[in-house]
């Protein structure tokens, strides 16, 4: 595995454009056998479009892709698979109603009984234990990922691409995944590891290609670089610091969940089981855990998009609120930033100004039901200016904004409502590091001004940065409250797994 072994895959001057967006420009990349190669970049830096070209989902506009030194044209994923390229997607492509071995047999030729034996054998060899006969919907996210990896491995790939594999895993499972990847590396496999998490890359990878705005900003050995160096390559400047002072003592209870029960209406939804939570004003509580463990259900119940069985299961500012709708809860002083921006937090076909009206209509925007365009416009202008929303005009359609910019707009709008209680779901999904820090700082400011904030997030680092108290939501059950100052990521991980094992 010397540094001079020939490159298995090389990309020369590869460019790709989608409409007006230059996703990749002049990308050079070389991946050697027996190497774990990181592709590092922020959301929107062009990592996904690059991988799509390597996996044959998209074709480059210009440049060449070489396999073992010869140029190849990949028109579809099966072309890439024929070469020996396997890919594990961030969002899994498994059928939940089928068993593990059935899912595998859809892609891998062979009798199911033989495949089941192979699955077990691979599991033992690489630490990817999973029951071949289990139904996929019964599996945890980590186990599903193992199924995806095994399915790739059974096709005997020479290059394995993993797209943000750790974003769905609790910390303990990350350790196991890394062990697996190192043993694959030892067998001479090349691995492309896509991530924006600097510490992971420094721990695991021996080469890294850093992307920023579709261009390569560096080929480095991550083991010799500090996290700050990598961040600088990735975002072009240093990561702004965030400090959490908690001078204000927590006040009265602003949001209370009392024995919140909610049976799932669909087969694959999560039932919430007797949730208890006290959120005080001047406090940020974080709900940690992987999405799909009841996060969506909880957010909808608190926001009023779904109603509780009993009114007193949720109390907002001393008012039983479990049976009233979203609009009445907002009238009590509640606001909410949902995880989906398009189609829920904002209407893509409408202008930003009209999207202000969506939830800010109580801010004097109506007179006898008629819309006061001036007020609507000045609110929108203020939101765009205060929250650094990059857009040409408030008349632009919300759908034309990038995900991060739209998130800043929605968050700004909800903060400008001056809520006493706020629920923020996945505050920084798809937002670049600079903007994410700004968002977190805003939330801390609001807390200092006495707002009660509940944050549901998958990003543990983020929760530790801003929260006073943490709960873990796993399989529809909420852990006891944990003091964020004295809790470690490993503790949180134990709660994430705890409910299952």
Cite the DSSP H helix spans in 127-249: 141-153, 171-186, 198-204, 227-235
For residue 497, what are its two tokens?
Answer: 């797994």
Q: How many residues of this chain interact with another protein, rule: CB under 8 A?
A: 42
The torsion angles phi and psi of 24, rounded to 5 degrees, stand at: -140, 145
Q: Which is nearer to another protein, 67 or 122 (CB)?
A: 67
Quick note: the x/- pattern for another protein over 354-393, rule CB under 8 A, is x--xxx-x----x--xxx----------------------
Which residues within the stretch 191-220 sit at the binding site for another protein (CB under 8 A)?
Answer: none
Quick note: the x/- pattern for another protein over 223-262, rule CB under 8 A, is ----------------------------------------
Question: Are residues 365 and 376 in contact, defined by beta-carbon separation less than 8 angstroms?
Answer: yes
| Spatial distance between the Cα atoms of 263 and 261, rounded to a whole number of angstroms | 7
Q: Which is nearer to another protein, 400 or 485 (CB)?
A: 400
> CA Rg, the chain, in Å?
24
Q: Which window, 113-121, 282-290, 334-342, 488-496, contacts another protein (CB under 8 A)?
A: 334-342
Closest to 345 measured CA to CA, from 407, 391, 298 = 407
We find the least distance from the C-beta atom of residue 297 to another protein, in angstroms, to be 14
We find the least distance from the C-beta atom of residue 261 to another protein, in angstroms, to be 21
We find the least distance from the C-beta atom of residue 428 to another protein, in angstroms, to be 19
Angstrom CA distances, 215 to 42, 197, 433, stand at 12, 19, 18
For residue 346, what are its two tokens?
Answer: 């904002």
Quick note: the x/- pattern for another protein over 391-410, rule CB under 8 A, is ---------x----------
For residue 288, what are its two tokens?
Answer: 């940690």
Which residues are registered as beta bridge partners of 220? 208
Longest CA pairwise span in the chain (Å):
76
| Spatial distance between the Cα atoms of 375 and 354, rounded to a whole number of angstroms | 11
Q: Which is nearer to another protein, 365 or 470 (CB)?
A: 365
| Spatial distance between the Cα atoms of 120 and 150, rounded to a whole number of angstroms | 10
Q: Which window, 46-54, 93-101, 285-293, 336-344, contacts another protein (CB under 8 A)?
A: 336-344
Task: Please identify which residue in 126, 336, 409, 464 interacts with another protein, judged by CB under 8 A.
Answer: 336
Q: Which is nearer to another protein, 183 or 328 (CB)?
A: 328
Q: Which is nearer to another protein, 418 or 485 (CB)?
A: 418
Three-state secondary-structure class, residue 116: helix
Quick note: the x/- pattern for another protein over 291-330, rule CB under 8 A, is ------------xxx-------------------xxxxxx
Q: Which is nearer to another protein, 98 or 358 (CB)?
A: 358
Q: Which window, 72-80, 192-200, 471-479, 486-494, contacts another protein (CB under 8 A)?
A: 72-80
We find the least distance from the C-beta atom of residue 15 to another protein, in angstroms, to be 18
- For residue 265, state whether it binds another protein (rule: CB under 8 A): no
We find the least distance from the C-beta atom of residue 224 to another protein, in angstroms, to be 37
We find the least distance from the C-beta atom of residue 227 to another protein, in angstroms, to be 37
| Spatial distance between the Cα atoms of 438 and 430, rounded to a whole number of angstroms | 14
Q: Which is nearer to another protein, 376 or 458 (CB)?
A: 376
Question: Are residues 404 and 44 in contact, defined by beta-carbon separation less than 8 angstroms?
Answer: yes
How long is the chain? Answer: 501
Quick note: the x/- pattern for another protein over 73-92, rule CB under 8 A, is xxx---x--xx---------
We find the least distance from the C-beta atom of residue 95 to another protein, in angstroms, to be 26
- For residue 346, state whether it binds another protein (rule: CB under 8 A): yes
Q: Which residues of 317-355 are buried (b: 16+ CB within 10 A; e: fewer)?
A: beebbbebebeebbebbbbbbbbebeeebbbeeebbbbb
Which residues within the stretch 13-42 sit at the binding site for another protein (CB under 8 A)?
Answer: 19-20
Q: Which window, 286-294, 341-349, 446-454, 485-493, contacts another protein (CB under 8 A)?
A: 341-349
Angle at 281 between CA 279 and CA 282, to 5 degrees: 110
Q: Which is nearer to another protein, 10 or 465 (CB)?
A: 10
Angstrom CA distances, 216 to 29, 50, 56, 259, 284, stand at 9, 11, 21, 52, 38
Q: Which window, 65-73, 128-136, 173-181, 286-294, contacts another protein (CB under 8 A)?
A: 65-73
We find the least distance from the C-beta atom of residue 128 to another protein, in angstroms, to be 28
We find the least distance from the C-beta atom of residue 6 to another protein, in angstroms, to be 18
DSSP string, 148-177: HHHHHHTT--SEEEEESGGGGS-HHHHHHH
Q: Which is nearer to another protein, 134 or 366 (CB)?
A: 366
Question: Are residues 112 and 102 in contact, defined by beta-carbon separation less than 8 angstroms?
Answer: yes
Task: Please identify which residue in 57, 227, 242, 350 interacts with another protein, judged by CB under 8 A.
Answer: 350
Q: Which window, 154-162, 167-175, 259-267, 337-345, contacts another protein (CB under 8 A)?
A: 337-345
DSSP string, 409-434: HHHHHHHHT--SEEEEESTTTT--HH
| Spatial distance between the Cα atoms of 459 and 439, rounded to a whole number of angstroms | 14
Q: How many CA atoms lie within 13 A of 189 on its CB side?
A: 24
We find the least distance from the C-beta atom of residue 51 to another protein, in angstroms, to be 18
Residues lying near another protein in the complex (CB under 8 A): 19-20, 59, 70-75, 79, 82-83, 303-305, 325-330, 336, 338, 340, 343-350, 354, 357-359, 361, 366, 369-371, 400
């Amino acid at each position: 595995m010397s540094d001079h072994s020939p490159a298995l895959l090389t990309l020369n001057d590869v460019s790709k454009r989608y409409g007006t967006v230059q996703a990749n420009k002049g990308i050079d990349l070389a991946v050697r056998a027996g190497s774990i190669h990181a592709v590092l970049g922020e959301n929107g830096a062009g990592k996904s479009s690059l991988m799509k070209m390597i996996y044959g989902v998209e074709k480059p506009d210009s440049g060449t892709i070489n396999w073992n030194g010869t140029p190849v044209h990949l028109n579809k994923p099966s072309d890439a698979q024929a070469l020996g390229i396997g890919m594990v997607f961030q969002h899994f492509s498994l059928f939940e109603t089928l068993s593990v071995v059935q899912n595998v047999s859809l892609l891998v030729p062979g009798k199911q009984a033989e495949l089941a034996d192979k699955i077990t054998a691979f599991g033992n060899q690489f630490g990817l234990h999973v029951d071949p006969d289990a139904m996929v919907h019964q599996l945890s996210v980590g186990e599903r990922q193992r199924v995806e990896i095994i399915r790739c491995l059974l096709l005997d790939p020479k290059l394995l691409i993993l797209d943000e594999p750790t974003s769905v895993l609790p910390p303990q499972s990350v350790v196991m995944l890394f062990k697996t990847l190192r043993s694959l590396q030892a067998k001479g496999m090349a691995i492309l590891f896509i991530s924006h998490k600097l510490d992971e890359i420094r721990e695991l990878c021996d080469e890294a290609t850093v992307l920023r705005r579709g261009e390569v900003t560096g080929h480095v050995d991550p083991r010799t670089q500090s996290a700050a160096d990598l961040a600088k390559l990735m975002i072009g400047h240093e990561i702004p610091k965030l400090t959490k002072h908690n001078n204000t003592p927590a006040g009265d209870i602003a949001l209370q969940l009392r024995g919140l029960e909610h049976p799932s209406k669909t087969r694959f939804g999560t039932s919430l089981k007797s949730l208890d939570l006290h959120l005080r004003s001047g406090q940020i509580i974080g709900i940690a855990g992987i999405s799909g463990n009841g996060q969506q259900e909880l957010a909808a119940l608190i926001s009023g998009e779904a109603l509780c069985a009993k009114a007193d299961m949720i109390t907002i500012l001393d008012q039983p609120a479990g049976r009233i709708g979203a609009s009445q809860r907002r009238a009590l002083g509640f606001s909410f930033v949902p995880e989906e921006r398009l189609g829920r937090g904002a209407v893509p076909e409408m202008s930003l100004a009209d999207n202000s009206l969506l939830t800010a209509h109580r801010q004097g925007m109506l007179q006898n039901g008629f819309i006061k365009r001036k007020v609507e416009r000045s609110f929108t202008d203020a939101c765009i200016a205060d929250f650094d929303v990059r857009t040409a005009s408030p008349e632009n359609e919300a759908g034309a904004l990038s995900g991060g910019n739209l998130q800043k707009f929605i968050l700004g709008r909800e903060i400008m409502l001056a809520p006493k209680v706020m629920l923020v779901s996945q505050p920084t999904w798809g937002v670049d590091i600079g903007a994410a820090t700004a968002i977190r700082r805003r939330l801390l400011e609001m807390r200092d001004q006495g707002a009660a904030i509940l944050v549901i997030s998958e990003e543990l680092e983020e929760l530790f940065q801003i929260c006073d108290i943490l709960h873990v939501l796993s399989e529809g059950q909420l852990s006891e409250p944990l003091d964020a100052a004295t809790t470690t990521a490993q503790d949180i991980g134990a709660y994430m797994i705890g409910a299952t094992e």
